[in-house]
Amino acid sequence: MDARHASLARRTLDEIRQKRAAERLSKASSGPDLSKVSSSNDVAGMRKSESGNRLSETDVSGLVSQLKDLQKSNAELEEDNKNLSSMLRTKEVENDMLQKRLNDLEQNSIPSLRKALRDVAMEKDAAVVAREDLSAQLRTMKKRLKEAEEEQYRAEEDAAALRAELNSIQQQAMIGLPSGIASMGSSPDHIQALEKELASLKSELQQESLSRQQERVRLAEEQARTSALMSEKQELEEKLAAISRRASEEVSEKVAQKAFSKEEKEKLEKKLHDMAVVVERLESSRQKLLMEIDSQSSEIEKLFEENSNLSSSYQEAMGMAVHWESQVKDCFKQNEELRGMLDKLRTEQASVPSLQDKGIPGTLSKPNNDGANESVPHCIFYRDSFPQGPTYKRTEQSRGIISRGHAALGATPTSHTSI
């Protein structure tokens, strides 16, 4: 560029010099022609020659002044040329520096940004996979909870039916004492069956408590996974903020240094636009992940509440089982006492045969001190006097209820029938 400008300036100066030399030659040749006069006119010829000499001197002085002006302008043009060449050199140096900066950016910062974007995309995919796993686990837990609710409803219905049947059996037992006395021989077997049933119920309750503890452990693991997802989300936010900060700093540095050419500007603007689009996509995905995590946390809170309700119902069921066990023990004691009373009555009946012939149904008589017969009401309660068919059916139903799971633990009877 400098050589070209210098050659153009030299050519223009040579052309100007040639033009000036041609003008001088033409004026020099025209001066003597004007000074030529004939010998006949002396005074006029002398004046003409003097005027011709004067014109030539003025032309020469003008040419000298023009040459000086041209030399000055030439010197000024040379100085301008030097300044332009120095400016061109500085521009070329700046251009080289900017080119090196662009190359450094393309080789170092842009690949690192791309790698960071790829890492963010991979982490986003991992978060999406984890979210899908959590949603699948939540769906299974919801399904289990629905099944547990259904089982709870069934258990409540069965418990109500059992309570009604117990009431009816108690009434029948209070009324039908003779049939109970006749079937007294099979009472120990029935008591053993009841004890076995209570033991099985206890074992099933223990199994349900273990399963409930396992569910609590699973819920704790799910909570830990959600906390890990929250930490990953925070890391992604920090990475996005760092990438945006780096991009803004690089853009500000580029703008502060110098303005690039249009093509480079378009390329950089396109790259920045693509990066902004990627950042917007990542931001939208982050918002979606936040919404999903919020919904999952709310569902986990609901599950915790339901779990606490189930645990309370389990405690109530355990209390009911203990209460029923104590009632059964009381019944055993009452049966032993009633057996002793019946043995005494039988011995008395055997000792007084005349009173057996006069016995009234529904009462047992024994002599008192006055010699009168004292009637003993048949209000003795035996477990063996219950109708065994529906009772055993209901016990089998109670075993099925306990084996169903959460519903048996959540069954809270409204009223307790005292045996």
137-168 pLDDT, tens digit each: 888 887 887 887 787 777 778 777 777 777 77
- Same domain membership, residue 249 and residue 366: yes
- Same domain membership, residue 85 and residue 208: no
Report d(CA 68, CA 79) in Å as an integer.
16
Interacting residues of 116 by C-beta distance below 8 A, sequence separation 6+: 239, 243
The answer to whether residues 159 and 394 touch, using CB atoms and an 8 Å cutoff, is no
Span 295-318, pLDDT tens digits:
888 888 888 888 888 888 888 888
Q: Does residue 419 form part of some domain?
A: no
pLDDT at residue 266, rounded to an integer: 78
Q: Give how many domains the chain has, as a whole number.
A: 2
Q: Does residue 322 form part of some domain?
A: yes
- Same domain membership, residue 264 and residue 136: yes
- Same domain membership, residue 113 and residue 102: no
Q: Max CA-CA distance within the chain?
A: 215
Interacting residues of 293 by C-beta distance below 8 A, sequence separation 6+: 131, 226, 229, 230, 233
Burial class from Cβ neighbours inside 10 Å (0-12, 13-18, 19+) for residue 369 reads exposed
Going along 254-394, which residue ranges are E strands? Answer: 363-367, 373-377
Interacting residues of 177 by C-beta distance below 8 A, sequence separation 6+: 378, 379, 380, 385
The answer to whether residues 392 and 384 touch, using CB atoms and an 8 Å cutoff, is no
Q: Does residue 19 form part of some domain?
A: yes
In which residue ranges of the chain is pLDDT below 70? 1-6, 28-56, 170, 173-174, 176-188, 190-191, 194, 251-262, 353-419
Predicted TM-score (pTM) above 0.75 = no
Cα–Cα distances in angstroms (integers) from residue 186 to residues 30, 383, 392, in the given order? 166, 10, 14
The answer to whether residues 243 and 113 touch, using CB atoms and an 8 Å cutoff, is yes
Q: Does residue 417 form part of some domain?
A: no
Domain finish residue from 59, 74, 106 = 106
- Same domain membership, residue 401 and residue 257: yes
Report d(CA 63, CA 25) in Å as an integer.
11
Residue 318, SS3 per DSSP: helix
- Same domain membership, residue 175 and residue 57: no
Q: Does residue 415 form part of some domain?
A: no
- Same domain membership, residue 149 and residue 228: yes
Q: Which domain holds residue 370?
A: 107-352+362-410
Q: Does residue 397 form part of some domain?
A: yes
Distance between the two ends of the chain, CA-based, in angstroms?
Answer: 117
The label of the residue with tokens 């010829």 reads: 45
- Same domain membership, residue 198 and residue 99: no
Q: Does residue 418 form part of some domain?
A: no
Domain finish residue from 52, 84, 106 = 106
Report d(CA 74, CA 64) in Å as an integer.
15
Going along 52-163, which residue ranges are E strands? Answer: none
Domain finish residue from 106, 127, 154 = 106
pLDDT at residue 136, rounded to an integer: 84
